[in-house]
Structure 1
Amino acid sequence: ITGYTAEEMISKKISMDEFMGKGERKRIISILNRGSAEKPYRLVAEETSLYIKDGTLIPISLSASYVYHGGEPIAGISIFRDLRPIKHVEDSLRASEQKYRILVENANDGIFVYQDQCFKYTNPKFRELLGYTKEELDHMGFRDIVRPELGDLIEGRYVKRISGEAVPERYEIALLAKDGTWRAFEINPSIIEYESRVATQNIIRDITQKRKAQKALRASEAKYRATVEHTGTAIMLLEENRTISLVNKQMERLSGYKREEIEGRIPFTQLVHPEDRELMAGYHRARREGRRDIPSEYEFRFIDKQGNIRDSFITIGMIPGTRQSIVSIMDITDIKHMEQELEKARKMALLGEMSAHVAHEVRNPLQKIKTGVELLFHSMDLDERQKKLFNGVASGVDNLEKFVTQILEWTRSGKIRLKPFSISNIIKGLIFNRDEQFTRQGIEVNTAFDTQNDTIIVDGIQFRQLLENLIDNALEAMPGGGTLNIATSCIPEYTFEGPRQDITTRALEIRIEDTGCGISEEDLPHIFQPFFTKKTQGTGLGLALVQKVVSVHKGEIDVKNLENAGVRFTIRLPMDQTFSDDEVI
């Protein structure tokens, strides 16, 4: 410790006054002198100092006592220990404690030590947050600043925590400030030893403003979610990887998928027609590359869960500061259909005007030709060959006159003369008039009428023409014989699609089936178009007129090839429909 050798120490060259710190030898001797031979004083672990060989003054712990002889001290025995290691540790601890105290005292979070249901220590920030003084808090506990119903819970957590039981490592709580207001805090407790006993050190952070911001955010989110949910447009949120992360109710209705089937599961390209996918995926990438030449509104074809294709109009844009897109989709299938129907109606109106004009111009000359042919036929002596020629001319004139009549029927106004009629009577009359032709062609006719629901209000002339055209079509389809089935029935509830709204009512269904050659699949979509025909002597107006009559009666007609052979036409008419004054004569 001292750096001296044993020889140097006992050479009597070292003076104790110089060896020990200044005045220390006298102080130690004065303490030992308190004793006597009968009751010697023993000095134990007294802190003092001495000089080592290099001249450094070091701290030591000294234990000493006198050796007595004849009642007088003749020598001293001492034991000392180098205190430098201990002093170093103590200095380090004091420095560390000072740094920790500075840190705690100047922390921007509230810090307190809790022990025995009391605040044992509080830093200035904690006192500032709640407004209490140190003296006030020294006599307070959690029960004084939490809601009464939570007192047992919080104190119970403290007991469980110091006992080593599992409790929340962090929680939020409202504390009562001195001014009577409740403030929200987040508390992070941990176990420490304080004054040689277990306690908790707690760090609290004021989250009152955070709570208010969260509440405002939730209110804002609820408002905008309600707006998104109740808008009439399908809306979705699109991620950078094309996944749909959010949809509204309208998107569920449009797509046919439930929300949980879409969100986070389906890429938007799954809802896009294959022919449109590459283009829209390219737009998606380019939009995230910051390109500004990408359209934000355009039309595309949407595919729902059932595989139905819907014409749609999309509006899309990036959400600022994110890689997400907000997408709005509007189903324009009905609008496109209406546009097509309007264009078709415009063309049909123009065609009708032209056709009516031609028909009127042709009808008068036809009458003169017909009259002239009849006069010549009956006033001349004709051989068989000449008679055959005249009959051919007369037949051609009749066909042309029939064609003109069909044109005029097709172009006439959409107004109808409504009266109650028995459908079965109309059909029976038409069958009776063609009985000879049915027999000649070898056609068997079967009928099945719903006699309980047989009366319907229609335009008798137009409806008779409609049925006559369909029966004539069946006759032409079975030149070599076959079977014609005609049946009627009532549908208690049937929904007719209207231009403004759908109507559900009783419906009369008429089915006319033949076992003829059928209609080619490529021709089926066109058979109701005016002047469309594949017959060598057909006008192409028969079925167009049928569809028009059904339409003005607010009904519907469809046609289907049967599995074995033949065709079925199905007509459905509303039995309880009302008509406006503009629709009837």
Structure 2
Amino acid sequence: MTDVLQIRQEKRDTLDIVYFSGRLDTNTSLEADETLKRLIASGGLRIILNLGNLDYISSSGLRVIITALRNVKKMHGDLKLACMKPAVREIFQLTGFNRLFSVYDTEDAAIQSFSYVNLDENEQRIMDAVVSTLDIEEERQRAERNLQLSENMYRAIFENTGTAMAIVEDDLTINLANTEFARMVGYKNEEFTEVFSLLSFVVRDDLAMVTEFHDQARKDTEDHPKHFEFRLKDRGGNVKNVYVILDMIEKTPRRVYSLLDITELRKIEEDLQHELIRNEEFFILTAHELRTPLQPVVGYLQLVLEDPDSFGLNADGKAILEKCLQNIDHVRESIEHIIKLSGPGYGPEQILPRFKPHYRLISPRQLLISYIMIIRCSSDIAVDIQVRDDLKINTDSEYFFLIIQSLMVTAIRYSTSPAKIEFSYYDDEINHYFTLRNGSAVIAQEILPNLFRPYHVGNESKLLRKSGFIGLSLPVAKQMAEKLQGDITVTSTPETGTLFTLVLPKSSAPE
């Protein structure tokens, strides 16, 4: 038995004999339909279909043959069937379509008995109805197959993003949650067959904020929040800080929540803020202590130098005091420079040691698609992902996700409308290279050196500032790339726009 359809034609006097071999189904019916239409259009009105080598026929195949019979009858011709195998004959009998055709056991019998039979009006209506019914059935089956394929694809993306995700109804009940979300809240995936409210995992003081963001997502405006942060309480009562990407599912009241556990990063951020305040206070006190004793010295020197004769000061003595005053000014200037140049000793290199990468095989394209589907950029920003479906790399999925998020936010921040953001990939023997290009984004040359400097945090929306979350900056993204033994570089010109390049080694190994 073959999975394809083979078609052969012969001409015998005024008869056309068409041989079908193999399977006549959805995948092969188009070829059969075109063959018969061409034959009829060329004047072939006395046709025999030899089905002796046809192993299987589906509803799509039946539609093709009935359509051919209808068309040839309209042109005062005829079409007969011969040599059907028992399995094919049984299909015709079960559907009742054998009554529409003249069926013969042998090809010779079909040739000898060939004559034209008029198609009356009632038969025409019956045949038209049969063809229409088969067309509808075929379209229904095709739609069901496409729907099943789409559902399987989206479920695979949803389950394998490496990020905790949940689909939440309008009343905040959880409709569907993936394994990562279940693990985050301390449940097994199968336990989510019960009805849970998202609010049951929210710390009491954050309930109003989560409800507000959830409601605002329904408005689907440019100002509605897509990112925020709240405190999550898991099954064991442990409190976690989570960063949320939120969006609506089009034409439904449901929302997609994507959550990242940033508890460790939040703790580090708080430690950093305390360290910044402590160091700032230290430098203020140091400046005061250094400047205070100099003030009276400067005052006395200026008093003497303004009236040297009153103090019996000769020219050499005045020159010496003027030199002292100059040196004191240099000391004061040096103090100012030291205070300006001395920053807190808690930079990005100290931010991540407690946030160790966890390596596993991931699909970059699936993570990118997941992020773009969730963030759903505005209509004037198009995103093109040019990364292979079969590409797999060994890295930390959350690090990769957060790095891409930082690069994406920066590319959009400096963008003008309309914009097109392109993700692409290439490699060599040593490294993977992921590039993000935005031709409409131009970063001023004086800003470029600051993008990866410590504490350079871009402006966030008023709503984010209201929630007190400053976001993940490019210095942290670069430090994450370095933790993965890679790097991030950037170029930006008015001619080419902005290009970020994330380099990750192929031989990555856990630290």
* Same structural fold, with TM-score higher than 0.5 when normalized by the shorter chain: no
Give the helix-richer structure, 1 or 2: 2
How does the TM-score come out when normalised to structure 1?
A: 0.28
Larger RCO: 1 or 2 (CA < 8 Å, sep 6+): 2
Give the strand-richer structure, 1 or 2: 1
